[in-house]
Structure 1
């Protein structure tokens, strides 16, 4: 089944129908229609998968998909157009440009924590770039996976964009096939396996992974506001967010205040018993429930800590004075546990961050712009947000992705289009003006070699329309000034000669 889906997708791609912008726009519009028409069914599926609130579904997933599709529809002609580049003297009269073109058949392996956004956002980029795409949703979000399999063929070309469901064996079978790009969202451990499988076919990959995203709180910032924003980002979707703040770094003098503010904010958000709150979710399955509970072993929570295996429920939990080398600080938590690690100052926080793998996101809460700039310059992360959490993800203008251990490649908006396109280098010449090329041909001599070196070493010339217009204007003005100067000099010379003549005449 998996192999047949890939073969059908490749055959459909080779038919050439994805090449036209009209077809891509039609498919994008159909995907947008699916999201708007089936919002209620999607919300129900997410409620069944992880007790997601019906109000959170649009905010956390569907609006971002809609915005991405609308942007792609609006900008597709611009993104797909040839991109002129600078020339040198040897190519000044030629057409030189970059032409984005489809890669071919893309494999998209989605994630279970945001099963619609993290599956369909890459699909938007694949469609816009003119690719076929085999979609493999996560089997852990079972209801969403089955609904996606039922809906997508009703709205999109079923040969170009097949949905393959199933577990690890189906994913492994897909990875044995040859693709032109693999786009995977998930854990670093599985990301390594995906990259290894893709390497057998020399297939490029985009790996959207995760890691432990640090959150530094400066002692002089507005701690009340900082904790409010951190609490939202950490515990939304029950902590199952790849860019959620994984842990807090702060000085010992403010740790108690941070704990108190988070406790008060949790009471405001979810009430005295978050288990009864319609806005608080559940862990995806029993395996992850047990894994998260095991991370708490040996600690006494200062906030939360309650759990119920029958509902896969773990309360929002805060742990303080967590040792830097504990297991809790070695693994990505991906759940509603928030450890606090104390550091002596910002220098110590920077050292702590740099001693670990590069995170997917870095959060800095600080009112001193100079200190913020320093922390940004002396650390590295996939993305960074100052005085808030996760909001950089909401901007399609910003590339989203990791660095090093937290991922390879980036997407969102035009970045998705470029990531899933081949940037083809194009040089179109004529067979005329052959005398210009003589310097590069044998037999060589000193004069020819000198001319060739001069031409090749010449600075690149921007021949875009606006630059060309200004160059012409500048040339005309320059010539005009030069002619005027020559005329003035000639007149002055003429007057001078006349004066000498009449002086000689009278003498």
Structure 2
């Protein structure tokens, strides 16, 4: 593997990114599309090599790695290539009053500049490529540091990037905490971080020194509510898939489950049947079953299972040599149980029971009121509407799990403690760009604005009164625009035109 990037080299890397952005090449949309195409083929041409690296880091089989790491990233790049020119065209802001139209106000999505991308170990390829693609589409220059806990993935992407991508636009930093600290001390125009809240706080503190904005995609305790009207077999299979995929090390994975008390025993049996069907030889005997990332996290997840006050109904076995833990269903832990107190990020599945949907929703709000994902398995639209009105989350998903992050162009992100400002598709451009306003006043605009200039005259005060918003709405009842306000705008416009005509005749 390649050596770590020397800490002493990092200020020069950041300076090179700024210099290249200031050269202006990345502002050209066609140049961005060419870079996105290069990034696309970096993945497409090297699927086997990339999947092998992910296998070494996380134990994911090729089916899982191909879907969760490669396919979604390729589709996201395709969306950006197809739409970046359209999305970056100047736009007239909606709702501009008629009297200001002559000033031709427009908004432009323009690149922020230099972006530092810090990505995690759990989906090292997808989360890196999707984020880099967003920054490239926006016209930024990029410095990337992947997690040192996924060294094979980081090394293969760094090596391929040197062959496929413009080294002036895209730079890779390899290493651990020391490199991360050195990068955070540099001046960037945006830092984007995907990971946990504790690290996010340290990044925010460091970024504050340079007033650098930070974009966060974090996690949380994502609940799944399973009602008595749901398709229980499908619900159980979704939960089993969510917790076995990447061994539950997924920010959108179901963290815990609330099942209606009348169907909980049936759900437990169906969950076990789903796991058995996915892994007929047993999870610990399946090489394609992903392992926990390292021994420290292995012990953390295992301790949550061993220390629970709930009853282990399914799974519970582990293999320290392979760092694999079975998908373990724990029934009815107490709310103060550690397994419900922190994001599990592993293969444990706490299951609680409830009597009413109101009770279930209130329980989720006590555990985490800003999760990244919120899952509801039900047979009724009314249940979905109820949950949507009573909760907050990055996404609310009915009768499915995890999949929202894989839908191209659909905004993905959290709220509150689970993150901010979703990305993917158009939202990616909005995160990695800024909205710049332009106003193009006619050369004789000062004649129109003469009403606002000194000296004050009775005629100017009359025109101002016509231009000023007035008593435009009914004081009670339904709020709607009144015809009076529209007539006032027309009258003011006629007065201004009349004043302009007078001025021109005086020339």
Q: TM-score range by the shorter chain?
A: 0.7 to 0.9
Aligned residue in 1 for 2:477:
none
Quote how far apart the aligned CAs of 1:240 are: 0.6
Pick aligned residue for 1:100 from 88, 106, 109: 109
Show the counterpart of 1:378: 390
Q: Distance in 2 between matches of 1:324 and 1:450?
A: 67
Which aligned pairs between 1:143-154 and structure 2 lie closer than 5 A? 143-154=152-163
User: 1:288 aligns to what?
Assistant: 297
Count of residues in Structure 1 that have an aligned counterpart in Structure 2: 460
Greater than 6 Å deviation, 4+ residue runs: none
Post-superposition CA distance 1:196-227 (Å, at most 9, x none): 21122111111000000000000121111111
Q: Is the 8 A contact 1:324 1:341 kept in 2?
A: no
- Distance in 1 (CA, whole Å) between partners of 2:465 and 2:148 is 60
What TM-score do you get using the length of structure 1 for normalisation?
0.88
CA distance in 1, matches of 2:60, 2:462: 71
Structure 2 residue 420 is the aligned partner of structure 1 residue 416: no
Residue 268 of structure 1 is matched in structure 2 by 277
Q: Distance in 2 between matches of 1:454 and 1:137?
A: 59
Unaligned runs of 5+ in 1: 460-507
What's the secondary structure of 1:339's corresponding residue?
Answer: strand
Alignment of 1:184-333 (within 5 A): 184-299=193-308, 300-333=311-344
Matches of 1:411 and 1:454 in 2, distance apart?
Answer: 44
Contact 1:28 1:127 in 2 (8 A): yes
Give the SS at the match of 1:295. Answer: helix
Rounded Cα–Cα distance in structure 2 between residues aligned with 1:391 and 1:28: 24
3-state DSSP class of the match of 1:364? strand
Instruction: Give the distance between the partners of 2:104 and 2:304, measured in 1 at CA.
Output: 60
Deviation at 1:435, TM superposition (A): 3.4
| SS of residue matched to 2:451 | helix
RMSD: 1.7
CA contact (8 A) 2:76 2:409 kept: no
> Which residue of structure 2 aligns with residue 349 of structure 1?
360
Q: Secondary structure at the match of 2:439?
A: strand
Alpha carbons 1:231, 1:266 under 8 Å: kept: yes
Q: Contact 1:247/1:340 (CA < 8 Å) preserved in 2?
A: yes
> How far apart, in 2, do the equivalents of 1:44 and 1:433 lie?
64
Secondary structure, aligned partner of 1:375: helix
**What is the aligned counterpart of 1:141 among 150, 157, 162?**
150
Q: Deviations over 1:388-430 (max 9, x none)?
A: 1112212233211100110111100111011100100111101
Q: Which residue of 1 aligns with 2:484?
A: none
Q: Does the CA contact (< 8 Å) of 1:382 and 1:400 recur in 2?
A: yes
Q: Could you say if the C-alpha distance between residues 446 and 212 of structure 1 is closer, same or farther in structure 2, counting changes exceeding 3 Å?
A: farther
- The CA deviation at 1:297 is 2.4
Q: Distance in 2 between matches of 1:281 and 1:235?
A: 8
Q: Deviations over 1:359-384 (max 9, x none)?
A: 00000011111121111111111111
Counterparts of residues 72-111 of structure 1 (less than 5 Å) = 72-85=80-93, 86-111=95-120
Q: Distance in 2 between matches of 1:277 and 1:118?
A: 26
Whether contact under 8 Å (1:89, 1:458) holds in the other structure is no
> Where does the alignment leave 5 or more consecutive residues of structure 2 unmatched?
1-8, 472-507
Q: Contact between 1:88 and 1:455, CA under 8 Å: does it hold in 2?
A: no
1-structure distance, mates of 2:286, 2:465: 74
Per-residue deviation at 1:301? 1.7
Q: CA deviation at 1:272?
A: 4.2
1:406 alignment partner in structure 2: 418
Distance in 2 (CA, whole Å) between partners of 1:4 and 1:147 is 23
Distance in 1 between residues matched to 2:139 and 2:408, nearest whole Å: 19
Q: Deviations over 1:100-124 (max 9, x none)?
A: 1110000000110000111111111
Counterpart in 2 of 1:427?
Answer: 439
- Residues 121 and 150 in structure 2, CA contact (< 8 A), matched pair in contact too: yes
Aligned residue for 1:32, secondary structure, equals helix
TM-score (norm 2): 0.88
Rounded Cα–Cα distance in structure 1 between residues aligned with 2:470 and 2:202: 47
Which of 4, 17, 39 is 2:25 aligned to? 17
Post-superposition CA distance 1:142-171 (Å, at most 9, x none): 100111111112111112210001111111
> 2:279–2:286: 8 Å Cα contact kept in structure 1?
yes
- Give me the whole-angstrom Cα distance separating, in 2, the residues matched to 1:443 and 1:230: 73
Following superposition, the deviation at residue 433 of structure 1 comes to 4.7
CA distance in 1, matches of 2:436, 2:462: 31
Offset of residue 233 of structure 1: 1.4
Q: Do the aligned residues in 2 keep the contact of 1:320 with 1:339 (CA within 8 Å)?
A: yes
